[in-house]
Amino acid sequence: MKRIFLVEDDKAIAKNLALLLRSEGFTVIHSSTHREALTALTGNKFDLALIDISLPDGNGFTIFTEIKETMDIPVIFLTASGDEASVVTGLNMGADDYITKPFRPRELIARIKTALRKSGNSASFFEIYGLHVDTASGVVKKNDSEVFLSALEYRLLLVFINNPKSIITRSRLLDELWDAAGEFVNDNTLTVYIKRLREKIEHDPANPQIILTVRGTGYRLGDGHVSE
């Protein structure tokens, strides 16, 4: 499980961010001040850091420097809207990305996963019941034969792969597909996409092992998966 170091002094933002990140399967360690952050870095290892630039007792730039002295991990700065000077400073220091507040949750998650993938700290190979997914190349194979998925079918599969231990509600899947398609996706369309995806990746679509239905809630990934 990937460990995210979150440095954010706004309690409401920090709480919502932590809930979002944990729902995506990340472990979150939170500090609200410059001093707390430096203490948390002692003896801890992280896979990625999310750092607010403006803190009540300092700024995120010194925390960034401290991180880079001990860990080779991606850092994403959180900054107030319109603070162009801070953004430029952060990028010139070597930050991997920045995102301005307020931000869209799905955009932040996408940027985190992109940063992890580029740094080599994110699994790129996934296997479950004879289905092999290489997320680095986007190639999906079943029993060594390539499976051709549409963009939305592949996006749907990635949601399950990225959340292997979570129950994914239908409403969340609708949000994911809507973001990917750029247009409204309704409940009936989701049912169709689940059916099509199962027909392509399951050995027996009528008795699925990879994408399981959780009655009254949504879906979850089957057991027996392996990632690298």
pLDDT tens per residue across span 115-171? 887 776 555 678 899 999 887 677 899 998 999 998 888 888 988 887 787 888 998
pTM above 0.85, yes or no: no
Count of C-beta atoms within a 10 Å radius of residue 187: 11
Which of the listed residues 96, 119, 142 is the one where a domain comes to its end? Answer: 119
| Residue where a domain terminates, one of 119, 147, 176 | 119
SS3 (DSSP) at 220: strand
- The answer to whether the beta carbons of residues 141 and 151 sit under 8 Å apart is no
- What digits encode the pLDDT tens for the residues 51-85? 998 888 988 889 999 998 888 899 999 887 666 77
Q: Which domain holds residue 82?
A: 3-119
Q: Are residues 110 and 39 in the same domain?
A: yes
Contacts of 64 (CB under 8 A, 6+ apart): 49, 51, 75, 77, 90, 93, 94, 95
Domain with residue 146: its CATH number is 1.10.10.10
Q: Indicate whether 59 and 148 sit together in one domain.
A: no
Query: Are 26 and 114 found together in one domain?
Result: yes
* Same domain membership, residue 182 and residue 139: yes
The verdict on 77 and 167 lying in the same domain is: no
Evaluate whether 94 touches 117 at the Cβ level (below 8 Å).
no
Same domain, yes or no, for 105 and 10?
A: yes
